[in-house]
Amino acid sequence: MRPVESVAIIGAGNMGSGIAQKSAQEEFMVQMVDREEKWVERGHSIIAEFLDEAIQRRIFREKEVEDIKNRITGVIGTENVNPDTDLIIEAVFEDFDIKKAVFSTLDEVCNEHTILASNTSSLSVNELAKATGRPDRFVGLHFFFHPAKNRLIEIIPAETTSPESLAAVEQYCKTMGKVVIVCKDRPGFVVNRFFVPWLNEACLLLEEGIASAAAIDNVAKKAFRIGMGPFALMNLTGPPIALHSTDYLAEQLDCPRYTGAANLRAMVEAGEMWEIGDDIECGEEAAIIISERLLGQTFAVSAQIVNEEICSIEDVDRGAKVGLRWAKGPFEIANKIGIDEAVRMANSYANSAGFQLPEWFANCTEPLDFSYVDTEINGKVATIKINRPEAMNALNETVVSQLGSALDSINSLDEISTIVLDGAGKAFVAGADVKFFVDKIRADSIQDIYDFTAHGHEVLAKLENSDKTTIALTTGLALGGGLELALSCDYRIGTRRSQFRFPETSIGIYPGLGGTQRTPRICGIEAARFAVLAGNFLDAKSAAALGILTHLVEPANVNSTITEITASGKPNQKYQATPVDPSHPAAAFALAFYCDENMAALSNGNCPDGFDAEDKMVSRQLKALSRTAPIALAMASQLLNESVITGDDLESGLSLELQRLNDIFSTADALEGLSALIEGRRPNYTNS
């Protein structure tokens, strides 16, 4: 598979410029193409406006914005695209003939390896693939607006798309930090299939006089726990888009219920927007009708999506939560209100829409089970992916249990030589589920926290003690428990996007899944103090210097690095107990600042002798340490010291870490720190 390193976007409108911007932000070299110079310039202006806002919000520095802009080259005319471009994404009007003409030109211009993609929300990917001269190197992409902000993307392979092309595009999307849903080519794909009829159903409710637009919006917001109702959303994106999309689905799926409501059609013909107003009140009976029809529609159509094997129940929910920013997905809502009720509502809608509710859902009597850990076997390599990107792959009881089962299964297969751990979306694993800890502390159920963590130790031991070569694919964020999970593997592969941090002492606890024991055994006690006690963010280069990362590679070289590691096997010595590159600034500072002689001063909040408290790096450390919970800091420091005492006996060190767990979670500071994190405020520690 040739990796994607260069991209071109055909169309410099709002969507095309957004895709170009996001690609450039992730350090791809980008061509932004349109028919005339004025449209290309307009695309640059749109990007500049978004990036200026990002500077004001302190998302990017001015130098970073200049670098992003410099990676985008304007090109006038599709025929002038660089022939050697790896991936070209067409983002023009939703018109089959226009898109076909674009691909005809690209087929003539581009080299044989170039993959073509269409950013489409409705057209058939299979038909578009047939319209190109390279149906094996063609794929559908459905970006959600705004592409630089919305993390969801639907990848729709055509029936002719080669596995290599799909893999290359999927890797590009993951490098972009996208949450990827790979789905079948069916009208509406995943999200629009249930969301567009939802909008039309709201229009029908208004047309029937059930309630005002404002009241329907208000009921929908409560039923789905969303920030905007259907009419406000249509005003945001434009009623014409809703009308076009729902008419398209009605025609393609032969479902008259989806035909655009008369009031929606009249609104579009008049060129107007919905007048929502402030009349949000309606009677209880009307509120029940509104919520049950909107919920029933969502349940019924989502059940169809799964029945047609477009995607899984997990991906349907993921699409709603990431793409639409719903608090819960359709099937999670069904579980919450009760499966019997959800099936009743779905049946009612299906009957009114003239279709049969799929048997798999109609016959449901028990809550649905969700899978968050996927396993794929390719030759001797088994890839286990934690697939909960809507929660940054945070570890909870379900994820840890499913991960343990997956590892048991793979460890039992003699034909497998290598296990690769991966995380969906932009994170590897962003720690544990903090709300779980808070809920258990408040319920005086700290034993449940201990049991959960002890089980986590057992699961990590399945990696630590595996006879397979184990690799953590830490190409995004690895925080807290996620970093501890990665450290239990033999190797850790990272890219420029990799970031690592132990935030525990700043939120009132200490790393409890081996962080105080594996870290010093990998990079030495001083570097471990730098990482664990002060909770320093480690970029990819710093992490590689300390030994947290064993392989720092370009995104395009991740797969080849896995192949190389698989061939070489397990490391001769996993725990070196010293930085890989002690001359690196982060390593050199850690070795000097966090040496044994300085710990007494640091524990008392003082600057060690020989260091200037005004020095930028020193002051940053002192400030970070001052913001930790004192009890957590002391316990973490003691556990790090005990890692040296226990030496080669990792099990004894891990046992000590577990033994202190009840003590730390029983403190007032633990509850304060964890609660403050959830509430988005700075904690106020009382050392109690």
637 classed as catalytic = no
Token pair recorded at residue 498: 């990799």
Integer angstrom CA distances of residue 336 from 280, 342, 366, 367, 398: 25, 9, 12, 9, 17
- Which amino acid makes up residue 126? N
Q: How does DSSP classify residue 322?
A: I
- Helix pair angle (585-593, 616-626), 10° resolution: 60
Place of tokens 């019924």: 300
SS3 content of the chain, % helix, strand, coil (to 5): 55, 10, 35
3-class secondary structure per residue, 48-107: HHHHHHHHHCCCCCHHHHHHHHHCEEEEECHHHCCCCCCEEEECCCCCHHHHHHHHHHHH
Active-site entry in 26, 154, 201, 672: 154
CA dihedral 344, 345, 346, 352 (to 10 degrees): 110
Burial category of 443 from C-beta neighbours within 10 Å (exposed 0-12, middle 13-18, buried 19 and up)? exposed
3-class secondary structure per residue, 431-446: CECHHHHHHHHHCCCH
SS3 678: helix
146 classed as catalytic = no
Q: Are strands 373-378 and 477-479 parallel, antiparallel or unpaired?
A: unpaired
Active-site entry in 90, 142, 559, 672: 142
Place of tokens 């809703």: 242
Q: How does DSSP classify residue 135?
A: G
Other CB atoms within a 10 A radius of the CB of residue 365 amount to 7
Buried b (16+ CB within 10 A) or exposed e, 532-560: bbbbbebebbbbbbbbbbbbbbebbebbe
The C-alpha atoms of residue 132 and residue 159 are separated, in whole angstroms, by 13
Integer angstrom CA distances of residue 221 from 209, 315, 626: 19, 22, 42
The CA-based angle 170-171-177, given to 5 degrees, is 95
598 classed as catalytic = no
CA dihedral 588, 589, 595, 597 (to 10 degrees): 120
SS3 170: helix
Q: What are phi and psi of 393, to 5 degrees?
A: 60, 30
Active-site entry in 17, 119, 121, 150: 121
The C-alpha atoms of residue 506 and residue 479 are separated, in whole angstroms, by 13
Burial category of 70 from C-beta neighbours within 10 Å (exposed 0-12, middle 13-18, buried 19 and up)? exposed
The C-alpha atoms of residue 96 and residue 131 are separated, in whole angstroms, by 9
Distance between start and end Cα atoms, the chain: 56
Radius of gyration over every alpha carbon of the chain, rounded to an integer in angstroms: 27
Phi-psi map region of 27: left, alpha, beta (phi>0 left; psi -120 to 50 alpha): left
44 classed as catalytic = no
Alpha helices in 443-514 (DSSP H): 446-464, 481-487
- Reference 552, options 492, 490, 499, 471; nearest CA is 492
- Reported as type and span, the H/E element at residue 178 is none
Contact present, 222 and 214 (Cβ < 8 Å): no
Active-site annotation, residues: 121, 142, 154, 192
